[in-house]
Structure formats: C-alpha cells, structure tokens
Amino acid sequence: MNRKTPLVAMSLLASTLAFGAHAQSNSVTVVLSEELEIVEPCSATKSNVGRVLFQNISETVTEMDPTTGLQPRLAESWEDVGNGTWRFKLREGVTFSDGSAMDAEDVAHSLVRMKSEAIACEIGAKFFGGIEITSNIVDAHTIDVTANPAQPILPMLMSTVTVTPSTTPLDKFVDHPIGTGPYTFDEYARGQHIKLSANPSYWGDQPTVQSATYVFRADSAVRAAMVAAGEADIAPNIALQDARDPAMDFSYPNSETVFLRLEHAYAPLDDRRVREALNLAVDREAFVGTILANGTLLATGITPPSTIGYDHDLKPYAYDPERAKALLAEAKADGVPVDTEITLIGRINNFANVLETMEALHAMYQDVGFNMKLEMVEVAEWLERYAKPFPADRGPEIIEAQHDNANGDPVFSMYFKYHSEGQQSGLTDPKVDALIAEATAATGEARAAKWSELFGYIHEEVIADVMLFHMVGFSRVNDRLDFAPTIRTNSELQLSQIEFK
Amino acid sequence: MLNFLGKRAVASGISLVGLILLVFFLSRLTGDPTGLYLPLDASEESRNQFRAIHGLDKPLFVQFLNYMGDLIRLDFGESIRRSEPAIDVVLRGFAWTLQLALITMSLVVVLAITLGSLAAYHVGGVFDRIATFFSLVGASAPDFWVAIVAIVVFSVTLGWVPTSGTGTVWHWILPISVLFIRPFGLILQIVRGSMINALGSAYVKTARAKGIKNRPIIFVHALRNALLPVITVIGDQAAALLNGAVVVETIFGFPGVGKLMIDSILQRDFTVVLAAIMVTAMAIFLMNILIDILYSILDPRIRY
C-alpha cells in the first residue's frame, strides 16, 4: 500500500458518510421540479419560489387558509375604516432575521415595492393590477391601507403581500431574502441546492423541522426515485405514472383548472350554437382514470369548487355528439361558416399528459365534424397567443390553458379571464363586465351570490369557453414524515407544518 | 507551428464573430422575452419598463452594436432570468460540464482503445464477439432510458449510489457511466476496424518476422498508425460532450452548460445563450487545435 492509498480510502469513506447522512432526524430534503430563477419574496406567488419562501422566510400580513378562512399572520386584526381604507394592527415583538424590528414602515415599504415598475413583482402585477394602493402609518404597529378603486376583499389581498425590511431596494430583486418567518435563508448554491434553517428569534412557536434543503430535478421519475431511495423527503409534484406507491404517494386537488378559451371575435366561434357543440363534443368522463388521474373533477367554472360563490348546481356538459352535430348543421343552415378551420392550441408540458389530452380533444372535435388543426407550442409562443395584445389576424383559435386559484375567491380570476379589458379574456360582454364589478364590490353572502350568478351566466347562457377539469396533483412523501399535501401544496410548502412520526 | 497556430487563431476568431452574428439574430427571431418574465396580468407600462431595462426597446441593429461594444470590454451582459452576469452563469455550468467530459472521455479513450485493439487482434474470437456485441448495444442505447433504468436498479433497488445530484464521489458514478456507454461503443468499433487494417499491413508482418512480441506490435507499431481516424472520432465525441450532455444533466440534476443552454433558449435569456455558445465554441476551437497537433505527432508526414 503506498502513501496515497489511505488518503483515497478516507476520501471515499467521507463521501460515503456524506451520501448516507441525508436523513437527519430533524431536517428535511425537498426535491423541486425546477431551479428557482430568483429568490424574491415579492414574487413568492410563483409556485416554485413560493414553496421555498412563502411563510417559511417571508410572511404575509394576513393568511388565507382554505379550510378556516382568513387568519391573522403579521397583522393581529383589521377593520374597515371606510372610503376604501382598511386599518391593520400589526403584531408586536416581531423581528426580521437580520435582527431589525418589523413595524408599519416595513409593511408600507413592501406595498410600494410590490408595485415598483423597476422590478415588476409577480404579486403586485397579479393581485393588485389596476388597483392603486396607498398607505398611512398611524403608529409603529398600525397602518391604514387604501385601495383605489375600493377593494372589499383588501384583507384577503393582503394575504399575498410578503413583508420585507424597509431597507430592501425598490429597483432590484434580492438574492438573499430577509423575512420574519420561522426559517432563515442560509445558502443558495446555484444549480445545486438551497438551504434554510430554523430562525431562533421567530415570534411564534419553534418548528419541529430545524433545517431544510431544496434540490432540483427536472425529471418526475427521478424526483419520485429520490424519495423512494430516502434521499429526499418530499417531492411536491410528480407525474401520474410515477405515483404508484400508495404508502408514499398522495393525490389532492391542486387548485388548477384546465379549460379551452374560445376566441369569440372570430366566426364560427362567435356563434353560441357552435360553442355549445364544442362543449357537447367532449367526452370528459373518458379522460378520468385513463390519461388523467382518478379523482380529477369535471369543471363548470374556472376556479376550484372550494372558492366562494362556486355554483355547485351547475352541471358539466354531457357527452352528446349527435346533438353537437345537429347544432353545427343548424348553424350552417343559418349561414355560419362552421367549415372554417379552427386552430386548437395546446401548451407543451403544461400538465402531465397534456399532449394526449389535446390529441383526444382534437379527435373528438373532428368526429363531430369540426375542421380543426392541433398545434402544440412552447410556453413563449403560447403566451403570445393567450394574453393581450393578441396577434393580428389570428383567426378562430381555441387555446388550452390551466388556471391556478388557491386563494379562495374568484376575484383573482374573473377579471383577467372574462372582463372585456381582461388581459387573457376572449370575451366582450357588458353583462359579464357588470357582474364582475358588482361581485368585486360586494361582501359576505351577496358577494357569493353575485359570483354564483356570474358562473351560471358564463357557463350556461354565454357558453364562454369549454370547461374541462379540476386537476389532481401528486406528491410523494417519505413515510418518516407526518405531513399530508393539500390544495396549498401547489403554491406553498410550510415547513413549520411538517412533523416527524 | 507558430505560424499554423496564428492562422488557426485568426480563423477561429472570424468563425466566432460569424457565430455571434448568427446566434444574436436567430435567437431574437424567437420573440420578445417580456411575456415570459412578467406576470400575465402585467400592465403595458411594466412591459415597456422591462424592455427598457434590458435594452430590448431599441432597434435590433442598435442592440447588436451595443452588445458587440460591451463584448469588446468583456462584458457579456446580464442574465434576464437570474439577474447576474451571464458569463458567471455560463462558466459555473461549464466547469461542471468540463469535469464530466474530461473524466468520461479519459475513461472512454483508455478502455475503448485497449479493448478495441485486443478485439482486433483476436478478430472473430470470443473476446471480439463479446466486445462487438456490447459496444454495438452501447452505441445504440438511448441515454434517457439507460439513465432511468440505472437509477431504478443501482439507486432505488440496490442502494449502491445516489440517484442524482452532486456533492460526493458517489454522485458522479451514474452520470459518468451513462455518458460513457455511447462514445465507448462507437470508438471501440472504430479502433477495432482501424486496427484490423493496421494489423494486416506489411510493416506488422515484417515486425512479426523480426520476432517482436505481440504487445509492442499491437500497442506501439499498429496502434500508432491506426489512431488517426480514432482521434477524429474522439474529437467529435468530446465536442458533443463539451456542448453539454443535456439528457444526462437533466436526469441527474447536474448543473452543466447543456441544460443551461436549452433552458436559456426556451426562456429567451439571450445573453446566456450567446455567452454559452461563445464559451463552448472557444473550447471546441482549442480542442481542434490540440487534435491537429496530435495528428502531427502521430504522423510525421503531417507538417503545418
């Protein structure tokens, strides 16, 4: 044995120990499907960013819980003081992980920052688009927030606002987020991992999980294999075909709804009978348990059934190809150009088995006589055709989309998807615009009733689009954890809710 | 030789400028990245601001001149996706790819040349048949399938090595093994074919007649003459690895330049695409020069 042999042996031993040291008793490893491009709290509503930062590093003013409703987080209470202004009483004794105290000035700064044009935060654009937000600091732990136009659900909107220190720059994203949450952001080795550890100065109870490592694997089979091999504890998003172990795999409604948006501006899609035929031609039941997971629900609205105002009395369109053919014939007899070629557009990798889903839809439409071609496009091209300004002279297009709303209120969806001015709306209907405005301004039961009326009008009278499925997500969880994924796992993963068996 | 190196450097420089020109304008044809980076509901003001920040609001030719001006100062621009210098992102990925390629190709070269030479010496024998069978299987096996099967067998079932990732020596075993298979199969076949010709040539018969032993005949006399086509193929295979082993990097979570390049194209992160192409092009230019030098060492008739 030469002098180098012990050195090599020691290196291998050290590597072995390192490889074997993945399952420490109070730490977890989470394997995500893609690397985080940014670690910016004001974009924590992006799913992969949210699973690391949201409520782990950065906490929100209020917190929306799908089962118990709106809860306090950094604000202990709130009240409507009129004229679109809400007063939030902030929790005292909260500090950021850099040691500075959290107060009203930080909340005011976070509100300004999320609307900063220089960085285009996801939260500001997604939840506060078209809303002017101003604030007035009453005292160190009281802040008035005013929305123009007035937002009766402002406290709910504040459940998306992540609070960062007032020293956070307004003109650039941060690469080392500072928050008030139960964890601190320790390390981001680009391309390899992110590490968090428990925040010793956290204002709430200390979490059981004391540290977490996030790694990134694009392939679903590898993510599932990592949990099976004990290298990871949670794979929040795996494909249907990889979720084959009942002991480890959980399915749950993931707050995503798949639908086909119809472009009403172009014939023949401007004819209600054609749109009804498009709904009747689809055998929705045939997808469930075959190319889509068991548990997938048939949709009648664009938001999950748990959102307020979802009309549970609405029925999905039954599969009736003969009626679809008859409607097309009737429309044709009235001069509607039903033979015009329609482009059916799907988004590559939008969800598991999207290609198979789109091919099946295409075949069903051809079976009833539609002249249709299928195009599967990358996300960039899909966005250009999905969001305004739409391409000129695009012709009649049907665009497949998947919409996520885990916030419990349709307001986060309806304006953008159905209002004449909505960024992704293919519809121009004054009654829809009016109902959206009324529902947005209403509160309590009146609000739920208005949203229900809107759901019914869109689904049965206008037949605005082809609602398809409320989707099911799959997560694999190591059996050493006491943790069950929920509808929120699609967009956040609160480590403090994880316990060990 | 210096004259040759100078000429190659000039030719490589011209090719590089042509490449930059081509990639710059072709990548812009994919469209505006604004929609990809801003939320669907972002206002037109936000979109214009985004374009202004990243210089996308200017005419394309002005963007190109600005880019070339920055490049002369070795400023490769900032990644839109990661908000950090594009060259830092690329060099970080390239370091992983380079290590992966160097280790894999070293193993491939040593084993393929040794086993290919022995197979040629025992042509038609059991060793030759076994080597040929496995090399053909290796050369035609799809990477993604081999990778997933390897993970299921060696990581999940046997628990010998980690499924994926980086960090320890053990993490390198599966990616290198999967990357090894195809070039090994291909190069072994080339070595075998080339060596069969070389071993049948007159100078080998003369060497045998002079009583020289088998090992020097195979690995000194015949191999040196058989290596020229082999080196060409090794160069091709190494270039493919330097461009990034996209499938292997994706499946095993290796943060190399191949996956980075594909992701950057899909995300319209133009500065990263350009920086990645330039870095890999430079590496391939250098490798080609190295191969030319090797030619002249192996065959004294080749002079530059």
pLDDT value, residue B41? 67
Nearest beta carbon to residue B82 from set A16, A37, A172: A37
CB contact under 8 A, B82 and A190: yes
Contacts of A153 (CB under 8 A, 6+ apart): A409, A411, A440, A443
Asked if residue A402 has pLDDT above 50, the reply is: yes
Q: What are the chain A neighbours of B170 within 8 Å (beta carbons)?
A: 15-16, 19
The list of chain B residues with pLDDT below 70 reads 40-41, 244, 304
Give the separation between CA A467 and CA B76, rounded to whole angstroms.
46
Give the separation between CA B283 and CA B16, rounded to whole angstroms.
11
pLDDT value, residue A17? 45
In chain B, how long is the greatest CA-to-CA distance? 85
Query: A11 or A204: whose pLDDT is higher?
Result: A204
Nearest beta carbon to residue B93 from set A117, A191, A231: A191
pLDDT value, residue A23? 53
Contacts of A24 (CB under 8 A, 6+ apart): A211
Interchain CB contact of B37 with A (< 8 Å): yes
Task: Round the average pLDDT of chain A to a whole number and report it.
Answer: 89
Tell me which of A190, A302, A416 to substitute to probe the interface with B (most B C-beta atoms closer than 10 Å): A190
Asked if residue A7 has pLDDT above 50, the reply is: no
Question: Given pLDDT bands bounded at 50, 70 and 90, which one contains residue A3?
Answer: very low
Q: What is the pLDDT of residues A19-69, one digit of tens each?
A: 544 556 899 999 998 888 889 999 888 878 899 999 999 999 999 876 677
Contacts of B53 (CB under 8 A, 6+ apart): A118
Position B115, amino acid: L
Region A105-114: mean pLDDT is 96
Question: Given pLDDT bands bounded at 50, 70 and 90, which one contains residue A15?
Answer: very low
Q: What is the pTM of this model?
A: 0.81
C-alpha separations of A312 from A64, A69, A276, A288, A471 in Å:
22, 19, 20, 20, 17
Q: What are the chain A neighbours of B266 within 8 Å (beta carbons)?
A: 378-380
Region A124-149: mean pLDDT is 89
Question: Out of A228-232, A346-350, A399-403, A475-479, which region has the weakest mean confidence (pLDDT)?
Answer: A346-350
pLDDT value, residue B244? 66
Q: Quick check: bond before B85 cis, omega within 30?
A: no
| CA-based nearest residue in chain B for residue A190 | B255
Q: What is the pLDDT of residues A227-240, one digit of tens each?
A: 999 999 999 888 88
Nearest beta carbon to residue B38 from set A125, A173, A225: A125
Number of neighbours of residue A445 by Cβ within 10 angstroms: 10
Give counts: helices (H), strands (E), chain B: 14, 0
Tally A–B CB contacts below 8 A: 130
CB contact under 8 A, A190 and B89: yes
**Closest approach of B245 to chain A, Cα-based (Å):** 14
Interchain CB contact of B153 with A (< 8 Å): no
Number of neighbours of residue A298 by Cβ within 10 angstroms: 16
The fraction of chain A above a pLDDT of 90, given in percent, is 61
Nearest to A261 by CA among A397, A363, A367, A368: A397
Q: What is the pLDDT of residues A233-281, one digit of tens each?
A: 999 888 888 988 999 999 888 889 999 999 998 999 999 999 999 999 9
Q: What are the chain A neighbours of B250 within 8 Å (beta carbons)?
A: 218-219
Question: Given pLDDT bands bounded at 50, 70 and 90, which one contains residue A381?
Answer: confident
Asked if residue A371 has pLDDT above 80, the reply is: yes
Cβ proximity of A29 and A477 under 8 Å = no
Residue A186 sits at φ, ψ, to 5 deg, of: -95, -45
Beta-strand ranges (E) seen in A121-163 are 132-139, 142-148
pLDDT value, residue A34? 84
Indicate the pairing of strand A372-377 with strand A234-235.
Answer: unpaired
Region A430-434: mean pLDDT is 93
Tell me which of B163, B254, B259, B269 to substitute to probe the interface with A (most A C-beta atoms closer than 10 Å): B163
Q: What are the chain A neighbours of B155 within 8 Å (beta carbons)?
A: 225, 229, 231
Among residues 174-193 of chain B, which lie with CB inside 8 Å of chain A? none
Q: Running DSSP on this structure, what letter comes out for residue A419?
A: S
pLDDT value, residue B304? 66
CB contact under 8 A, B83 and A173: yes
Nearest beta carbon to residue B41 from set A19, A117, A125: A125
Nearest beta carbon to residue B164 from set A118, A226, A381: A226
C-alpha separations of A396 from A41, A303, A425 in Å:
39, 25, 14
| CA-based nearest residue in chain B for residue A123 | B39
List the beta bridge partners of residue A347.
Answer: A377
pLDDT value, residue A66? 67
- Judging by beta carbons within 10 Å of its beta carbon (0-12, 13-18, 19+), is residue A98 exposed, middle or buried? exposed
Asked if residue A198 has pLDDT above 70, the reply is: yes
Interchain CB contact of B255 with A (< 8 Å): yes
Q: Is A33 helix (H, G, I), strand (E, B) or coil?
A: coil
pLDDT value, residue A365? 97
Tell me which of B32, B40, B143, B249 to substitute to probe the interface with A (most A C-beta atoms closer than 10 Å): B40
Nearest beta carbon to residue A125 from set B39, B53, B252: B39
Give the separation between CA A422 and CA A388, rounded to whole angstroms.
8
Q: Quick check: bond before A149 cis, omega within 30?
A: yes
Give the separation between CA B44 and CA A164, rounded to whole angstroms.
26
pLDDT value, residue B108? 95
Task: Round the average pLDDT of chain B to a whole number and report it.
Answer: 89
ipTM of the complex: 0.79
Nearest beta carbon to residue A219 from set B30, B53, B251: B251
| CA-based nearest residue in chain A for residue B144 | A219
Interchain CB contact of B87 with A (< 8 Å): no
Give the separation between CA B300 and CA A267, rounded to whole angstroms.
75
First to last CA, chain A: 47
Q: What are the chain B neighbours of A215 within 8 Å (beta carbons)?
A: 165, 253
